[in-house]
Structure 1
């Protein structure tokens, strides 16, 4: 198996030839990981590889031989989910009623679906989450979609921890606010994750949904179905760097203490344009809290 010379440029748009090449290789029985290795050898960067390999619809990626749970998951995930988390923004709403406060809407983008909120958290809440998390930080892990477990990932160089849902008074207050803000039950959210990024730390571009083509995905989905949306809350802004980037649309959001960034993805497919990452922190520390929203109750 070899990739064409035209595939060496990481800036080249996803062409019809590239689409055919991916489908042909999958149809010939090559794995996604084998395609990754081939593209690495051709000089592609890791973030560009992910965009290229997963720029096809789920149904197209499933053209390779699949059976059992893997085929069932791929077929079930091909269509957008019926219900979606997110704020009600009719009439270009300037504020959203989050129960205990009116949250300003600072920016919206339709595709990908991105909403920036100001004043989502108070200084007291930011400090409280940082203090409670600080004693429990460890090197951040990522979900291992090949097995359904967790693993260290060189693309993610932060320290982090998870709160149990409703673990303390601040967590309960924030979770209730998020549920009202995004019209999604508290029970459908994963536990709040807090991350610290020191100088040089980053999170390279990635997707938050679970790839239906990976063998560990059925195990992950048993806990609450697919992820449908992400809410990032900035607890502390660094002195420089640390922006949240969306490479597919050229968007970068600067971290601002107390603000929140929501983005949704109605299906596990790059067509949602939800590829995102955290740029390296250049000075100071960045602290963020993340809430991932699932299809159903997360257990």
Structure 2
């Protein structure tokens, strides 16, 4: 098995994922994007959904762009002391081959009918007003792991605009992508859109990793 890499950066980033069973790599030279169906079972997904519903709040963005409808979902900061949350975090980090110390706390999102997160990237804009505040300690975001917890009745796909890839929600499906180029600079080809839910409700959890350890 490929050894754990420190924070997911550098020329070997993503090699651990390539060696994992049942992993599909989206064929594109523009970004490193991986899909793993069945990463989480329905029971685990349902348990995380219950936790999101219990503590959800309106979602926010780092740099406001003046559009109040830019991100309309709800967010839940999941408790790392919760054994269910901790077990999922540990599995995601091991799957990516990244030391857990570089991971942000797991976060859940809930999308009701009509809610979305318009096209965006997960890294912090180097010229953004909040870049220093968000990156001073742990640095830039490296990898994103996003797990679909359920399947809404309609809508809610994730669309990667630059490469024309549309990923449909499916219970237990995990998406992983590198937010950086090989040289460590932010990769704008990771631009993606959490599309509107047209019927039902969509739940996901997101795990972001950083260049430096996350404060305990």
TM-score by length of 2: 0.86
Residues 107 and 115 in structure 1, CA contact (< 8 A), matched pair in contact too: yes
Q: Does residue 217 of the first structure (1) align with residue 118 of the second (2)?
A: no
CA change 1:131–1:238 in 2 (3 A) is: same
Alignment match, 2:196: 280
Structure 1: any 5+ residue segments left out of the alignment? 1-80, 96-103
Q: Could you tell me how far apart the structure 2 residues matched to 1:189 and 1:89 are?
A: 17
Deviations along 1:218-245, one digit per CA (max 9) or x if unpaired, are 1211231100111110001111111000
**Paired residues for 1:175-194 under 5 Å:** 175-194=89-108
CA change 1:216–1:94 in 2 (3 A) is: closer
The 4+ residue runs of structure 1 with deviation greater than 4 A are none
Alignment match, 2:34: 115
Structure 2: any 5+ residue segments left out of the alignment? 1-8
Residues 105 and 115 in structure 1, CA contact (< 8 A), matched pair in contact too: yes
Alignment match, 2:144: 230
> How large is the RMSD of aligned CA atoms in angstroms?
2.2
Alignment match, 2:186: 269
Q: Could you tell me how far apart the structure 1 residues matched to 2:41 and 2:12 are?
A: 27
Aligned length in residues: 203
Question: Higher relative contact order at CA 8 Å, sep ≥6: structure 1 or structure 2?
Answer: 2
Q: Could you tell me how far apart the structure 1 residues matched to 2:190 and 2:109 are?
A: 20
CA change 1:94–1:214 in 2 (3 A) is: closer
TM-score by length of 1: 0.63
Match for residue 160 of structure 1 among 45, 60, 75 = 75
CA change 1:230–1:241 in 2 (3 A) is: same
Q: Could you tell me how far apart the structure 1 residues matched to 2:93 and 2:17 are?
A: 15
Q: If you compute each CA radius of gyration, which structure gives the higher value, 1 or 2?
A: 1
Match for residue 61 of structure 2 among 132, 142, 147 = 142
